[in-house]
Amino acid sequence: MAADKSFSNEFLKYALVSALSGNTVKVALCGDGLALDDTDQYLSGATLDEISPTSGYSGGHGNSGRKSLTMSFSADNTDDEGVMDATNLTWTPGTGATIHYAVYHIAGATGDTDAVYIGKVGVGGTTGQVTNGGQIELEFDTEGLINFGRASGS
């Protein structure tokens, strides 16, 4: 018989803080040619298809298009989880691109070969978000960007 197990919400928060705090977590805006899945560890093992509008976004490691997150951490005692949240991000890319995904990663010291892939979020539904020279805001869910839940039961 397996024993019941559970983890404290403060520990789940601590795990997120330990993994992410002190690192630069960045967001890249990518098109529908993105080929990145849950088995990829680094960005270099994937096809990013980072957007290339006429202006306002310069993709690639160390360039201005990839924005850093300002993170906060909490323990959610209602939903029994650790939470990493971030302030919303804004870009003003020129025309000529369609954003399909926001890709989150820990910035590598030397490039995408050591940039750790965290996850991705779809943008703009099935058709994506077309850039038109106006402001694009990536607004994070009120529940947080990462919700690290407790495991219970056997």
pLDDT beneath 50: ranges in the chain: 152-154
Tens digits of per-residue pLDDT, 120-129?
A: 999 988 899 9
pLDDT of residue 150: 59
Q: How far is the C-alpha of 30 from the C-alpha of 18, rounded, in Å?
A: 28
- Considering the entire predicted model, what is its pTM? 0.89
117-125 own/partner pairs: CB under 8 Å, 24+ apart: 117/36, 117/40, 117/41, 117/42, 117/43, 117/46, 118/25, 118/146, 119/146, 120/30, 120/34, 120/36, 123/29, 123/99, 124/98, 124/99, 124/100
pLDDT of residue 73: 97
Domain regions of the chain by residue span: 11-149
The label of the residue with tokens 């890319």 reads 93
